[in-house]
Amino acid sequence: MVRRKDDQVGQVLHELEADKTPRLHVLNKIDLLPAEARNKRHNLADEMYVSARTGEGLEALTARIDQLVEVDPVSRVLLRIPQNEGKVLALVEARARILRRDYHDAIAEFEVEVPESVLREVREFVREGKRGAPKG
């Protein structure tokens, strides 16, 4: 059953085009296992064993999350996107902090603070910008 649910999550992530994002399986309640069974469990690159109640494994989990999370610097830019670019517009709406929005003819103009990972996908629509804008 767990494997089937994991496959379903993988399918949804693929549909959302988020399947390249690192995944980490966190299995809680390790404290409920007998000591012998607990000692046989070893953390893997994508699987961690923890106990929220006792704190066991939480330090290792935090360290692993820090390894997986990429730094994604934010830039402030002006985007001019044709309104027929629905996928790009949806990406900006979902992943950028919109500071200003205007519409001229068939063009949507946005002043945004956007992570580098998103900026790479909308680069062709950038009209001006400066690096290192505050995330605030």
Share of the chain above pLDDT 70, in %: 93
Domains in the chain, CATH or no CATH each: 2-68 (no CATH), 74-131 (3.30.70)
Q: Token match 């390249």: residue? A: 20
Asked whether the beta carbons of 115 and 58 are under 8 A apart, the reply is no
Per-residue pLDDT tens digits for 89-121:
999 999 999 999 999 999 999 999 999 889 999
Q: Is 63 exposed, middle or buried (0-12, 13-18, 19+ CB in 10 A)?
A: exposed
Q: How many Cα neighbours within 13 Å face the side chain of 87?
A: 4
Residues sharing a CB contact under 8 Å with residue 80, sequence separation 6 or more, in sequence order:
107, 108, 109, 125, 127
d(CA 31, CA 51): 6
> In this predicted structure, what is the pLDDT of residue 67?
82
H or E stretch covering 99: strand 97-104
Per-residue pLDDT at 39: 81
**Given pLDDT bands bounded at 50, 70 and 90, which one contains residue 22?**
confident
More confident site: 129 or 19: 19
For residue 136, is pLDDT > 60? no
Kindly tell me if the per-residue pLDDT of 35 is higher than 50. yes
Predicted local distance difference test score (pLDDT) of residue 1: 60
Q: Report the C-alpha dihedral over residues 12, 14, 20, 26, rounded to 10 degrees.
A: 20
